[in-house]
């Protein structure tokens, strides 16, 4: 019997997001171990940047391929395909005998992450009712934080294999075991999805209306195909698809239309600003940051950051549909900008050059206990700010702002933007830390300031509306900064159906 609880479906699908989290920790957790340093010949600067970059580079390609898989084979099957690819990538990484093989494994695993990170939010958004869409799509970000946290502690435990992370003869099991363990969630996701439904909107787009109505009834009407809420949503989907088919415009041509192109740019920008916020810099290279402030064993204090990231995503999941998308983006940008400027200023005032040969950083604090603690505290506050704002909204917003006819392709472009910037940063940050050190914080602080201005002028509120109503929101002549939460017309349809003033004929359903 298929699973029909919306929360269960969306939470389980979010395991696909957790794969990205596993990858982040699988790399950040090994950087300070002697096994990794010795076996791969102490990769720093551009060499380490290249290793880290392989994953987002593969993700970029995977995101571009995702729309084809999601539209042709369904959202659910596309996620299952990503699980298989992830398993192959993890096997290659765990068996790596040199940097080239490690890069190849991360590239393959990245293909999986690119597909999953594009398709999972679409699947969740098309499954969920409008009242909790933000909440359940945000589970994607929460799964990422759990993936980071779980894999970090697996890696932390494995770092003690073979005499500990500081033992020059430490066994390669210190990194092979956690890289192999990453296969587990992908296997669970692949097998479990056989008991989950396909997207009702995808089924409708393939003229499988009887199945679409059945899924809607299971999700929102306790199996009753005549439930007013089910019929109201069914009517909305039917009318939207009829309109799109009358337009007879191909996906690619539609993306170039000014009104859609603006939304595509907005979706790509949200993902871009999320990466340029500086969050993944701290996720990938927090070990380097803590080393620069004089912490000799950075792995354990790094874990606090991952715990904060996981815990502080919860308020956003619970309240995102009440708070709305727009205010969360604006407040998050402002707070992150502030914390980065504070951190960079402290390092500029109290730091000094580090000339230690082979060190990944060239600027550090020596015998500056209070400023060092302040930098660590501000880093934690920055993570908390991201976790409650841009972390969940950057996945939710692009998944809901596009019409069905271009949704998979537009979201794939938005997600590709995420991975393109992630790729650039993963490669560029080690050299930046090595060359301009504390000035890097001001660069990312400025990016957050730019994101604040952009969202202030362009981001419209989407909370509480169905996916079929997004054209009304974005085609409105009201400026974005004056947009207000609107009442959904589905509520009126449901009321009319309940009162008997509107009859819905299930013309596509066989009696």
Which neighbouring-strand residues pair with 364? 352
pLDDT of 249 > 60? The answer is no
Of residues 171, 167, 145, the one with CA closest to residue 17: 145
Mean pLDDT value of segment 238-262: 79
Tell me the average pLDDT across 236-242: 88
Biggest CA pair distance of the chain: 79
Q: Which helix (H) or strand (E) holds 103?
A: helix 99-127
Which two tokens mark 484? 């207000």
How large a percentage of the chain has pLDDT more than 90? Answer: 48
Q: What is the rounded distance in angstroms from the CA atom of residue 147 to the CA atom of residue 21? A: 4
Q: Which single residue is written with the structure tokens 């587990």?
A: 184
What is the average per-residue pLDDT within 118-141? 93
From CA 438, how far away is CA 466, in angstroms rounded?
Answer: 45
Mean pLDDT of 347-357: 75
Residue-wise pLDDT tens digits, 419-468: 899 888 877 776 776 666 778 889 999 999 999 999 999 999 999 889 98
Give the confidence band of 491 by pLDDT, cuts at 50, 70, 90.
confident
pLDDT of residue 358: 61
Q: What gap in Å lies between CA 195 and CA 387, rounded to an integer? A: 31
Binning pLDDT at 50, 70 and 90, where does residue 508 land?
low
Confidence of residue 510 (pLDDT cuts 50, 70, 90): very low
Chain position carrying tokens 């479906």: 9
Least confident of 136-145, 195-204, 328-337, 343-352: 343-352
Rounded to an integer, what is the distance from CA 381 to the centroid of its chain?
Answer: 20
Cα 437 from chain centroid? 27
**Pick the residue with more confidence: 84 or 510?**
84
> Tens digit of pLDDT for each residue in 216-233?
999 988 999 999 999 999
Confidence of residue 241 (pLDDT cuts 50, 70, 90): confident
Q: What does DSSP assign to residue 294?
A: T
Domains of the chain with CATH codes: 6-199+251-469 (1.20.1250.20)
pTM of model > 0.75: yes
Q: What does the pLDDT average to over 119-132? A: 93
Residue found by looking up tokens 């994953």 in the block: 55
For residue 352, the 8-state DSSP code is E
pLDDT digits (tens, 9 = 90+) for 308-349: 999 999 999 999 999 999 999 999 999 999 999 998 898 888
Instruction: Answer with the residue of higher pLDDT: 505 or 169.
Output: 169
Q: Which residues contact 248 (CB under 8 A, 6 or more apart)?
A: none
pLDDT, residue 370, reads 81
> d(Cα 197, Cα 200) in Å, to the nearest integer?
8
């Amino acid at each position: 019997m298929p699973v029909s609880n919306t929360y269960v479906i969306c939470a389980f699908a979010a395991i696909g997001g957790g794969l990205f989290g596993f990858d982040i920790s699988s790399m950040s957790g090994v950087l300070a171990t002697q096994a990794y340093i010795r076996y791969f010949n102490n990769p720093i600067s551009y060499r380490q940047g290249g290793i880290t970059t392989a994953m987002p580079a593969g993700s970029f390609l995977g995101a571009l391929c995702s729309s084809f898989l999601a539209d042709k084979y369904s959202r659910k099957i596309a996620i299952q395909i990503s699980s298989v690819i992830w398993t192959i990538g993890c096997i290659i990484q765990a068996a790596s005998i040199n940097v080239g093989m490690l890069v190849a494994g991360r590239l393959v695993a990245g293909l999986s992450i690119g597909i999953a990170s594009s398709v999972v939010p679409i699947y969740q958004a098309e499954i969920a009712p409008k009242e909790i869409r933000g909440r359940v799509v945000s589970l994607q970000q929460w799964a990422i934080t759990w993936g980071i946290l779980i894999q970090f502690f697996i890696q932390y435990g494995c770092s003690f294999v073979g005499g500990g992370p500081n033992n020059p003869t430490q066994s390669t099991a210190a990194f092979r075991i956690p890289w192999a363990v990453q296969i587990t969630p992908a296997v669970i996701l692949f097998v479990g999805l056989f008991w989950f439904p396909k997207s009702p909107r995808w089924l409708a787009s393939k003229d499988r209306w009887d199945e679409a109505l059945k899924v809607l009834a299971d999700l929102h009407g306790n199996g009753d195909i005549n439930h007013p809420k089910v019929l109201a949503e069914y009517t909305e989907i039917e009318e939207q698809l009829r309109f799109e088919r009358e337009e007879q415009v191909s996906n690619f041509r539609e993306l170039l239309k000014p009104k859609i192109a603006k939304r595509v740019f907005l979706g790509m920008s949200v993902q871009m600003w999320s990466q340029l916020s500086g969050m993944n810099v701290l996720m990938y290279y927090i070990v380097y940051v803590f080393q620069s402030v004089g912490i000799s064993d950075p792995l354990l204090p790094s874990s606090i950051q991952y715990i904060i990231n996981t815990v502080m995503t919860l308020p956003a999941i619970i309240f995102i549909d009440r708070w709305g998308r727009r205010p969360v983006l604006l407040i998050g940008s402002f707070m992150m900008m502030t914390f980065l400027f504070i951190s960079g200023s402290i390092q500029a005032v109290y730091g000094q050059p580090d000339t230690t040969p082979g060190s990944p950083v060239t600027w550090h604090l020596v015998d500056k206990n209070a400023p060092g603690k302040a930098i660590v505290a501000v880093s934690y506050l920055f993570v908390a700010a991201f976790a409650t704002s841009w972390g969940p909204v950057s996945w939710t917003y692009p998944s809901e702002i596009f019409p069905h006819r271009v949704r998979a392709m537009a979201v794939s472009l938005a997600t590709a933007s995420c991975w393109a910037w992630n790729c650039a940063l993963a490669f560029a940050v080690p050299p930046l830390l090595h060359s301009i050190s504390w000035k890097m914080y001001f660069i990312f602080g400025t990016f957050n300031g730019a994101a604040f201005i952009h969202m202030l002028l362009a981001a419209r509120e989407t909370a509480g509306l169905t996916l079929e109503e997004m054209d009304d929101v974005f085609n409105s002549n009201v400026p974005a900064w004056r947009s207000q939460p609107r009442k959904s017309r589905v509520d009126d349809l449901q009321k009319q159906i309940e009162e008997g003033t509107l009859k819905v004929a299930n013309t596509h359903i066989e009696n």
